[in-house]
Chains A and B, each alone.
Chain A
Amino acid sequence: DADVTQTPRNRITKTGKRIMLECSQTKGHDRMYWYRQDPGLGLRLIYYSFDVKDINKGEISDGYSVSRQAQAKFSLSLESAIPNQTALYFCATSDPGIQNIQYFGAGTRLSVL
């Protein structure tokens, strides 16, 4: 089983719909992240959480919200999806060591029509 699991893997939705992307991890890490990937732009940080009570905005948080339900679960919501939120979304966790290595899920491909 994957250490970082994202569901769904693919989703097509319509403008204005509310969407939730889920992430769960079995690595026991406290730190979790949500990124989006767009062609030619690399990965951009949406939100990050250092523990259940510590949630922070990243560089592109507008239009998104998150919930850290437990140490192992971190979900990303699009309250009212718009077409420019069409992207590949990744969840990641990081280890507590000084190297701060991040471990990624397989991604969710979201299309907003």
Chain B
Amino acid sequence: AQSVTQLGSHVSVSEGALVLLRCNYSSSVPPYLFWYVQYPNQGLQLLLKYTSAATLVKGINGFEAEFKKSETSFHLTKPSAHMSDAAEYFCAVSDQPGNQFYFGTGTSLTVIP
């Protein structure tokens, strides 16, 4: 079975500061891991994905995430926050292509000018 825990339902950072959103997963098989972003009243947009290739994954809009098997983590980072980064972020895990995703509870990111 798979599950995802996102620590911190709300994160606030100043514009230009480092963004760190935490995600820990549980999986009985090598996982596929994803970060999605959701703006108000919209669907989810894929930021990046881990598929057992490089452990450091670069995504869109300057985001990246590092897969750490020993820590069962897949934290999302961005060196410098922009006002447009304010949104809801979801971490998800799946065990194979075409199977359901298990989502974390989401982290709301606020960027302070």
Whether both chains belong to one complex is answered with: no
- Chain B residues near A (Cβ < 8 Å): none
Binding site for B on A (CB under 8 A): none
